[in-house]
Structure 1
Amino acid sequence: MRSVVLAVMPALLAGCSTASPAPPPPPSPSYSPVPVDRVRGCADNAGMNLPGGVTAGPVRFAALDIRFGEPMADYPVSATGWTSLKIALFVQAGTRVTVSIAAEQRAEARLLYLPGEDSTTTFESCPGSAETAFPGGIAVKGPMCLPVDVAWAGQTARVTLGLLRGGC
């Protein structure tokens, strides 16, 4: 048996050495992040209730750290020039809505309801509760009257939020 293994071994090694080399691995593709699901649903419900705010269709915006329409010159600004505002979004029960920063303001404002920054986010409310609360906010490049579009069930509404300024 030992002589058979020894006799076969040179043939195996010869076969390995005469085989063509394996092709080089393909170049690694450039980094491209995996898209994140841009929908917030019932599992994201913050379970909070804040009175007041600004309403557009089935959506209510409630500011936590500012008052809509009141100027605030001393509000903190990041090193990149953006100011993040805490604004909870409430959606009526049984509703799926898409909230978008108006196209003309997308360079100056971002939604902060999902990781990263977006100009558009979709929200699905919880069934059986009056409203579903989504924590988050809006980042702005300075005081502005920000037009925000809300779309749901074939309908649309636009609301203007006075962010760090009055007179909107």
Structure 2
Amino acid sequence: ERRALEQALTRGDLLGVSATNALELGIDVAGLDAVICNGFPGTLASFWQQAGRAGRALQPSAVILVGGEDQLDRWYLDHPDALFTRRPEPAVVNPANPYVARPQTGCAAFEVPLVPGDEAILGEGLDDAVRELVLADALKPRRGSDDVVRMYWARPEAPAPSVGLRTGSSAE
């Protein structure tokens, strides 16, 4: 149903859609002229994700924040400049979490083969994630002419489309 809505918006069959913040990530409709946020979504990062749905084809666009009775809504309505001057909250991710490490390791290996020393970049969950992906026949080791063993993505399909952005679940 979501993809059908996106296609209808893209074709111009729909002039607008009222949606929950489920459309915050993943919707790619270049022709949206405006976004109306029904209440502040809780974080600046979420606000900008929602706001960023409009104006994607570099055309002028509008974002309207309709505040509710929530204290955070009230604060941003009293301090609208803060929407533009405050930095978004830092993302907090535990890279050793296997539900994060395994799919992200697969995505990394699809882009560039993994090499010894990647733990410094990809975190302490890398070894376990590599082991699981090898056992699942998703990664294959190959020794190069330089005698370095690299881990290559072994499946024909890219892993990223099956990795959810919110929970890591492919069911998103």
**TM bucket normalised to smaller:** under 0.3
**Length-normalised TM-score, structure 2:** 0.17
Max Rg structure: 1
Q: Which fold has the larger relative contact order, with Cα–Cα distance below 8 Å and residues 6 or more apart in sequence?
A: 1
Instruction: Indicate the structure with greater strand content.
Output: 1
